[in-house]
Every structure is written in C-alpha cells, then in structure tokens.
Amino acid sequence: MSDSSVIDRTSVRIGLGIFALVVVLVAADIAHDASLGAEAQHLIIEGTLMLAAGSGALVFIRWLRRLRDDARAEAKAERSQARHWQSQAEKWRSESQDLLAGLSQAIDRQLEEWSLTPAEKEVALLLLKGLSHKEIAGVREASDRTVRKQAASLYAKAGLAGRAELSAFFLEDLLVPT
C-alpha cells in the first residue's frame, strides 16, 4: 500500500489549514506589532516564523503532489501490466485453440470411457478447472455432501486416488520438460 492511499482529503485540508492559519496569525501579529512600533528584531523573528510556515506549506504541497503522481504512475503501470498479461493469455488461447479443442475432446472421450454419469462428468470437469467441492456445490446448486459423493464415485470408476491423480491423469504427459 502506498503512502498516498493512507492520506485522506480531510487530513490534507487540516494540514494545509494549520499552515495557512499560522501564516495569517503571524502576519496579523506583525502588522499589529509594527503599528505599535515594535523593535525590528521582534518583527524579523516573527517574519522569519511566517516565512517558515509558508515554506512548510509549500513543502507539504509538493510532497502531496509527488505522492499523487507516484500513485498515478503506479496505477498506470499496473493497468499496463494487466493489459500485457491479458494480451498474452488471449494470444496463447488463440494460438492453442485447435490443441485445446482436441484436448477437450480427448478428456470427454476418457470420461465417457470411465462410464461416468452426467453429474460425475460435470464434477470431474469442474475439479479439473480447480474448483473446490464447496464451489462446485454452489455452481451446481447441490449440497457439498452430494458433490463429495459424486467425486468419490468418479475416482472409484477411474481407479484414481483423488483430485491430484485426476489432474495428473490428463496433464502428466502434457508437461514434459523441454
């Protein structure tokens, strides 16, 4: 989290208001003291205080602008990075479309070969997509218990120990090191 997200508008207004108040009060005091014939040394000290408060306000404003600019640059970089990854994903899908279609058909044939019910087949596909039992239950509008039973049944029919072996069955040969 950047510093700029921590600073809210109210805090900024209060900070600038304090600097402005000090400048105004000191200026008023200088004018009052000058009209009374105050010593030059006293007026110089108060003038220096007024300049310090004004300088502090300017430093504060510059710091806030830098924080804002940094936050904008960071957000722009994040948007650019997101567009880059989205573009890469779209390119990969486009280039791999025929292969993915063939893989999808091969997975479908294997699920048919295991003689899965339509519900077990749907659970298998959702498991391969990485959904949890609870998420699958939500998608299928079924109970978590039902999904767990269907998953256990499909593992038994396929001769697999669980989700990891189901994924490995289809992906193991695809992920050969180069």
Domain ranges of the chain: 1-94, 114-178
Write down the residue that tokens 């072996």 correspond to. 165
Contact criterion met (CB below 8 Å) for 64 and 37: no
| 3-class SS of residue 93 | helix
CA distance 95 to 41: 80
CATH class of the domain defined by 114-178: mainly alpha
Is the pTM value of this prediction over 0.75? no
Q: Do residues 2 and 70 lie in contact, with contact meaning Cβ atoms separated by under 8 Å?
A: yes
The C-alpha angle 59, 64, 69, rounded to 5 degrees, equals 125
Per-residue pLDDT 10s for the chain (178 aa) are 444 455 677 878 888 888 888 888 888 888 888 888 888 888 888 888 888 888 888 888 888 889 889 999 999 999 999 999 999 999 988 888 887 788 889 899 999 999 999 999 999 999 999 999 999 999 999 999 999 999 999 999 999 999 999 999 988 877 766 6
